[in-house]
Structure 1
């Protein structure tokens, strides 16, 4: 009887600790990276194309798992058509013609993969490399902050009509479809005139669109490039991209949850790429500042730099900040892990450190680990004001110098890594 009572007490004690545990970084009782992700895409053989996609898709079309599709040049879904992609379908971007898929404004995509059968976009080269093909564009009718509330993606896409590359409007509830359980590999081709493509560009996308469980790996441009719109993102993964993992600009209203960025100093570009870049404009005279400024709410993110020798990589300039915040934006990070950066956060030097701006830039219940400094203003080594503000106990931020093996459950597993935070040997979970 005593043993039974002791067992109950120990169980209740363990459960009370679990409930009390602050849940930071990506969460879940199970490792939701399992089953649908691929961290070694160069080892996967997808087969040869059996169907070609080219030009405009102007009527409802379905792609089937039994076929492998080649994106030949710029492929546009236009005229209000819906492109449906069956779970497990493989779509290959052509290297020579810079294969890309563009869902034009007013059209929709239903790429609704399954955890056991994701949809894959990848390269057609025998030896796959970053930037082998273009990427995927979803263009919608939701607001942006540029003058006229409309703009266009260019990149040399060669549409048959300007409308096919236009985005922006006045419908925050716009619905561009579903993009779920999808992998995008080796995208982000570089062009002479227009720079790098991005793996997934969401331009003027509305909040009725579902974007979740999307993995981008080995992209040369940004993994996720969000231009204006109003969108919710959940369970995003950016793995070893060369440019920014997540970029938000031109009045984006975005909530991003339970998402991951994994950087490598040996792959990241030398131009100062980051996990997150948040801005409201590139040039101030191109936007209407009476419209929405970019507002990003991020919760339960894990931003991690995986380095074999972090101190050395920092010293030789291979490691940059995790998050860069430009002027005229609102940013809120909550229950997020930032591990292994130099430093964790940089504020643009045009942002005055005052109560108004600090109210718009929030860091709460954070876990800053193994960073060479935490929050700084660009080109200013004195961050006492910022440290004193965000270090206040009311924000419940935590600072640590733990090794990766002590911080994450199984970061080094090559096939099925687990980036959930380990605190006191309790897995961060949410329900």
Structure 2
């Protein structure tokens, strides 16, 4: 009887351990990327435009699937209007007029696609490339940490009087983005960097941000400026800039989300999967306000490379995660595969108990990284590696290829980036 009970206990322990490991990285009983994503958008045929969107949208407006819309120039949704977009609708950004869609503070976008009928924003070029058009800017009245309650989007291409964001309402809603794809965005702004594919300024936590895919952006994929966004099942695929950027006091949650980078596409200057900071200019920050705090769970951050070792040696691969000073990060149950190293802490962060308690990195699967957790510019990272390598954090390290690490990494049409536990052997050493 004792032997039988011991066997049952060991069996349950193993099952529980496997179950816990399976929850690392993106997860689900089935591959939630199926049906609504597109990993070969250059080959997609979206048809010719039949309707033009231009100027300001000042009244409630609906875009329907029966038409294909082209955005010309900067289109502002103003006057508290709601722009509703039906499932399956195609919206094309005009490259020649540097098209951008801006949802101003008080207005809303309700782009609610379906798993089998997503909404698509894409380029009008016959040969599409990153940066063909601007992207989507969504602005709200949730708090930011700059002096005063407000700021504005700093692009010369946009009207600053129509791009203010920030306020005192963390529970506000700027609408819905669900089952939406944004392709080839990130035009070069005059006198500045590239546009972001999706910029969220002062977005409240009642805004719904789920099942959103950004692919082949020339700038950042998701740029969060303050606010309290809650993001789930968001995807950044082969983008040039940062995949998920949080700053200006954002109080953000991001869960069950994916970033796939490419050694030969990524910008070599500060381009990474996850970037956490509290300010752009320190002198602009009100330190009596909340500084950036991000809770990130079940992320999969992977670098797509045929030879990761060679790409690292060639300097084509950098860190997956960067954490700046005066921020808080909880990064849990996530997979980081193929970076140099997995995480870098700002050199301005003193490595002490107080600061390390604000940067919780636990229950991770760190794979094929040249180093795990480093302090920027430091030649000796043994203390950090030892600290986060302690068994109390349940961080696992391995060195297997992406093909071995994930269920179906190289599938060109329907990849499955969930962790493939049957193919890997995890080690805590």
TM-score by length of 1: 0.94
Q: Residue by residue, what CA displacement relative to the aligned partner does 1:287-333 show, whole Å, maximum 9, x if unpaired?
A: 10110100000000000001111111111110000001111000010
Q: Distance in 1 between matches of 2:259 and 2:19?
A: 27
Aligned counterpart, 1:6: none
Q: Distance in 1 between matches of 2:309 and 2:12?
A: 42
Aligned counterpart, 2:185: 187
Q: Which runs of 5+ in 1 are unaligned?
A: 1-10, 427-431
| 2:181 corresponds to 1:176 | no
Q: Distance in 2 between matches of 1:393 and 1:254?
A: 28
Q: Residue by residue, what CA displacement relative to the aligned partner does 1:239-259 show, whole Å, maximum 9, x if unpaired?
A: 000010011000000010000
| 2:262 corresponds to 1:264 | yes
For 1:369, which of 367, 380, 398 is the aligned residue? 367
1:69-108 alignment, distance < 5 Å: 69-108=69-108
- Secondary structure at the aligned position of 1:221 is classed as coil
Greater shift, 292-301 or 21-30, is seen at 21-30
For 1:398, which of 396, 421, 426 is the aligned residue? 396
Given the superposition, is the C-alpha separation of residues 354 and 88 from structure 1 closer, same or farther in structure 2, using an over 3 Å criterion? Answer: same
* Offset of residue 192 of structure 1: 3.3
- Secondary structure at the aligned position of 1:148 is classed as coil
* Offset of residue 191 of structure 1: 2.2
Aligned partners of 2:409 and 2:417 also within 8 Å: yes
Aligned partners of 2:157 and 2:189 also within 8 Å: no
* Offset of residue 387 of structure 1: 0.9
- Secondary structure at the aligned position of 1:394 is classed as helix
Aligned counterpart, 1:58: 58
| 2:284 corresponds to 1:282 | no
Q: Residue by residue, what CA displacement relative to the aligned partner does 1:10-53 show, whole Å, maximum 9, x if unpaired?
A: x9999667545452000001000000000000000111111110
Q: Distance in 2 between matches of 1:13 and 1:380?
A: 40
* Offset of residue 149 of structure 1: 1.6
Given the superposition, is the C-alpha separation of residues 360 and 113 from structure 1 closer, same or farther in structure 2, using an over 3 Å criterion? Answer: same
Aligned partners of 2:405 and 2:423 also within 8 Å: no
Structure with greater contact order relative to length (CA < 8 Å, sep ≥ 6): 1
Aligned counterpart, 2:143: 143
Aligned partners of 2:26 and 2:298 also within 8 Å: yes
Q: Distance in 1 between matches of 2:219 and 2:262?
A: 15
- Secondary structure at the aligned position of 1:230 is classed as coil
| 2:425 corresponds to 1:388 | no
Give the alignment's Cα RMSD to 1 decimal: 1.7
Residues paired across the two proteins, number: 416
Aligned counterpart, 2:330: 332
For 2:313, which of 294, 309, 315 is the aligned residue? 315
Given the superposition, is the C-alpha separation of residues 149 and 301 from structure 1 closer, same or farther in structure 2, using an over 3 Å criterion? Answer: same
Aligned partners of 2:344 and 2:373 also within 8 Å: yes
Q: Distance in 2 between matches of 1:253 and 1:425?
A: 37
Aligned counterpart, 1:3: none
Q: Distance in 1 between matches of 2:147 and 2:388?
A: 36
- Secondary structure at the aligned position of 1:274 is classed as coil
Aligned counterpart, 1:7: none
Q: Distance in 2 between matches of 1:156 and 1:182?
A: 27
- Secondary structure at the aligned position of 2:254 is classed as strand
Aligned partners of 2:198 and 2:222 also within 8 Å: yes
TM-score by length of 2: 0.94
Aligned counterpart, 1:423: 421
* Offset of residue 423 of structure 1: 1.3
Q: Distance in 2 between matches of 1:14 and 1:195?
A: 50
1:111-122 alignment, distance < 5 Å: 111-122=111-122
Aligned counterpart, 2:47: 47
* Offset of residue 163 of structure 1: 4.1
Greater shift, 190-199 or 342-351, is seen at 190-199
- Secondary structure at the aligned position of 2:420 is classed as strand
Aligned partners of 2:157 and 2:190 also within 8 Å: no
Given the superposition, is the C-alpha separation of residues 79 and 371 from structure 1 closer, same or farther in structure 2, using an over 3 Å criterion? Answer: same
* Offset of residue 113 of structure 1: 0.4
